[in-house]
């Protein structure tokens, strides 16, 4: 993420850094059949998956917006 920030500023492209969460989400999904919802770990696992899906949805949207032309630094002052 540091390299992306140095190259593009604090832009929507930073969502690419979370690309590796897709394999993690798949791995966690395959574990849900083996771990019961009634166990605390099972509840935690599903909560992590929900948060990951929400975060990935935001990241995919941000990267798509960057590719569509919204390349401004998000931390710069706006007029």
Over residues 15-74, the pLDDT tens digits come to 888 888 899 999 989 988 888 889 899 999 999 999 999 999 999 998 999 889 887 777
Domain region containing 14: 2-67
Residue 79 CA to its chain's centroid (Å): 30
- 21 assigned to some structural domain: yes
- 60 assigned to some structural domain: yes
- 16 assigned to some structural domain: yes
- 78 assigned to some structural domain: no
Copy the structure tokens of residue 64. 């798509």
- 31 assigned to some structural domain: yes
Please count the structural domains in the chain. 1
- pTM for the full predicted model: 0.75
Q: Say which residue the tokens 């492209």 belong to.
A: 13
């Amino acid at each position: 993420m540091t390299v992306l920030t140095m190259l593009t500023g604090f832009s929507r492209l930073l969502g690419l850094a979370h690309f590796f969460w897709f394999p993690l989400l798949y791995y966690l999904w395959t574990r849900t059949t083996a771990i019961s919802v009634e166990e605390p770990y099972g509840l935690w696992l599903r909560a992590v998956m929900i948060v990951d899906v929400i975060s990935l949805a935001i990241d995919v949207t941000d990267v798509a917006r960057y590719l569509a032309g919204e390349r401004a630094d998000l931390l710069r002052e706006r007029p």
